[in-house]
Amino acid sequence: MTTTHDFDATAADGSTVPLGDYQGKLLLIVNVASKCGLTPQYEGLEALYRATKDQGVEVLGFPTNQFLGQEPGSDDEIQDFCKTNYDVTFPVLAKVDVNGEHAEPLYEFLRAEAPGDWGPHLGPFYEHVKDLTPGTEPGDIKWNFTKFLIGRDGEVIKRYEPPVTPEEIREDLAQYL
């Protein structure tokens, strides 16, 4: 049975990051962007990480430029932005595609395991974004800051759509710590 731990990611410096190294930890995997209206979620993600890392929680950021070009920078520029503007200490990895024919295999797996709950119940966010992502398939990532909670065993526990804040996720984390 495939789990998140079976995948590798690429660090911003080009090195390989085996996700199996996170076995026994809870993971929050997030596709991020520096020029998005949701970019301030970096602050909440960092606060969540600092508050829970000693309890075995890791946050992994995966920059993507697939949503209106909101992450145009190089991997080095992204790293600088995260440190300078949000004092990010959790790993922000190399830029990836999360949808489409060049999607990172990890994201193909995450989307299949947790297709999401995209719809009008997301309110103004849904109304704003629904027409900005034409051609997306069911289960595709619809926008920046989609989050996946991964169990200590590598199984996908839950997908959170972009407007769900890190503060809201902290409540769910409590049952797994």
Q: From the candidates 19, 33, 36, 45, which is the catalytic residue?
A: 36
Reduce the secondary structure of the chain to three states and give it as a string. CCCHHHCEEECCCCCEEEHHHHCCCEEEEEEECCCCCCCCHHHHHHHHHHHHHHHCEEEEEEECCCCCCCCCCCHHHHHHHHHHHHCCCCCECCCCCCCCCCCCHHHHHHHHHCCCCCCHHHCHHHHHHCCCCCCCCCCCCCCCCCEEEECCCCCEEEEECCCCCHHHHHHHHHHHC
Active site residue 36: yes
The token duo for 29 is 């995997």
CB 172 within 8 A of CB 158: yes
Which residues participate in catalysis according to the annotation?
A: 36
